[in-house]
Amino acid sequence: MDLDLRKLRYFVAVADKLHFGRAADELHIAQPVLSRQIRALEHDLGTPLLIRDSHGVELTDAGRQLLTDAGPLLASAHAVRRRVTVAARGSQRLMVGFRAGITATPAVRQFAVQHPSVIVDVQRIEGDDQATLLLDGRIDVAYVRLPIDETGLRVTPLYTEPRVAVLPAGHRLAGKEQITEADLAGEPLVWHADTSTQPTRRTHPNAGYLIRGVDETLEHVAAGRGISFLARSATVFYSHPDVSYVPIPQLAPDQVCLAVAASRASPLVDDFVTAAQATAEITAECGNYEMWQLDGGAIARDG
């Protein structure tokens, strides 16, 4: 029996809220109707998904597994609807996502040679939404930086970038030719909430700021709230008068990949992937400050 997506959406609402009443309110349906739909889904799958008792609602092991699998499945269904709507307008479009410091231009130009009538849109994405945008169809293909939750995605490595330390301009190590991890031991780190993804072998205390993107990182570092680490392309695309970039060769390099929803079957997407792979070396060079000029002079490493 095929999985009923409507019942699956109902289940996800209950699993998120762990409360039938609040889930029913969110779904704008009556609670008895919601209960019947969940029971029907359990019957379809042949196993209990939720434990209901006087203490509340809990997920069974099967329910936890279904909740894990439901996200990519529902996102894929939503993406299909979105693509059908776009196709009905009679135009061919490809939405390409990219992370800060990555230029999609070389691949877009090569793709355009083969598909001159396709409109290619580009959208900058952040680390916490790169997977979501691909799975729900708002982005067709994206240049991403690891780590990324690869559930429901096809991820193709393209190239790596060295990392640099991002320091306040008045920092004792600002302006050095290069530094080591040991030089920065104990310094608070301006980083996203998941400190397990720090690129260092030495764990830094989290400075405690919720940041999204390079711009916010630079502002916090400039204010002296901590240090950070970025891919070297930041030295090309982002300058700040109160920030210094210093190479730190010990750090593992930043990995740039191309990601597509695993359920996405499209000749256009496949051709863009081919173009991105063919131009990966050029794209990587765009992040090398030694190959860029600004007003006739090299862009300074220290911003």
**Quick check: 223 and 166 in contact, CB under 8 A?**
no
Same domain flag for 98 and 214: no
Q: Which of these, 27, 62, 19, 22, lies nearest to 41 by C-alpha position? A: 62
268 located within any domain: yes
Q: Which element (helix H / strand E) includes 141?
A: strand 141-145
pLDDT band at 302 (very low <50, low <70, confident <90, very high): very low
pTM: 0.66
Question: Rounded CA gap, 112 and 126, in Å?
Answer: 26
* Number of domains the chain is built from: 3
| Model pLDDT, residue 206 | 87
pLDDT band at 298 (very low <50, low <70, confident <90, very high): very low
Same domain flag for 61 and 172: no
Same domain flag for 137 and 200: no
Whether residue 270 has pLDDT greater than 70: yes
Report the CATH number that the domain containing residue 130 is assigned in CATH: 3.40.190.10
292 located within any domain: no
**Quick check: 164 and 177 in contact, CB under 8 A?**
no
pLDDT in tens, 97-134: 999 899 999 999 999 999 998 989 999 998 888 898 99
Q: Phi/psi of residue 113, each to 5°?
A: -65, -40
83 located within any domain: no
299 located within any domain: no
**Across residues 79-84, what is the average pLDDT?**
68
Whether residue 264 has pLDDT greater than 90: no
Same domain flag for 240 and 263: no
Whether residue 213 has pLDDT greater than 80: yes
Same domain flag for 148 and 187: no
pLDDT in tens, 22-69: 889 988 899 988 999 999 999 889 899 999 887 788 999 999 999 888
Report residue 60 as tokens: 């069974």
Same domain flag for 171 and 221: yes
223 located within any domain: yes
Whether residue 300 has pLDDT greater than 60: no
Whether residue 284 has pLDDT greater than 90: no
Report the CATH number that the domain containing residue 52 is assigned in CATH: 1.10.10.10
Q: Is the peptide bond before 147 cis (omega within 30 degrees of 0)?
A: yes
Report residue 168 as tokens: 């306040």
Same domain flag for 112 and 236: no
Same domain flag for 268 and 152: yes
**Across residues 222-241, what is the average pLDDT?**
93
- Residue 235: how many CA atoms within 13 Å on its side-chain side? 27
Question: Rounded CA gap, 116 and 133, in Å?
Answer: 25
Mean pLDDT of the chain: 86
Cα separation values, 146 from 12, 80, 156, 196, 254, Å: 27, 26, 11, 13, 7
Whether residue 141 has pLDDT greater than 90: yes
Same domain flag for 262 and 145: yes
pLDDT in tens, 142-200: 999 998 889 899 999 999 999 999 999 999 999 999 999 999 999 999 987 655 677 88
206 located within any domain: yes
Burial class (CB in 10 A: 0-12, 13-18, 19+), 2: exposed
Exposure class string for 171-208: b at 16+ Cβ within 10 A, else e: bebbebeebebeebeebbbbbbeeeeebbbeeebebbe
Whether residue 267 has pLDDT greater than 70: yes
**Quick check: 182 and 273 in contact, CB under 8 A?**
no
Strand order in the sheet with 228-231: 228-231, 163-168, 243-247
Same domain flag for 127 and 259: yes
Question: Rounded CA gap, 103 and 100, in Å?
Answer: 8
pLDDT band at 291 (very low <50, low <70, confident <90, very high): very low
Question: Rounded CA gap, 77 and 9, in Å?
Answer: 11
Domain extent, residue 63, equals 5-77
| Model pLDDT, residue 196 | 60
**Across residues 285-292, what is the average pLDDT?**
54
Query: Position 264: which residue type?
Result: R
36 located within any domain: yes
Whether residue 243 has pLDDT greater than 90: yes
Beta strands at 254-261 and 153-161: parallel, antiparallel or unpaired? antiparallel
Question: Rounded CA gap, 228 and 214, in Å?
Answer: 10
Query: Last residue of a domain, which of 196, 219, 247?
Result: 247
180 located within any domain: yes
Secondary structure of residue 128 in the 3-state scheme = coil
Same domain flag for 49 and 194: no
Same domain flag for 241 and 97: no
Exposure class string for 8-19: b at 16+ Cβ within 10 A, else e: bebbbbbbebee
Please report, rounded to a whole number, the percentage of residues in the chain having pLDDT higher than 70: 89
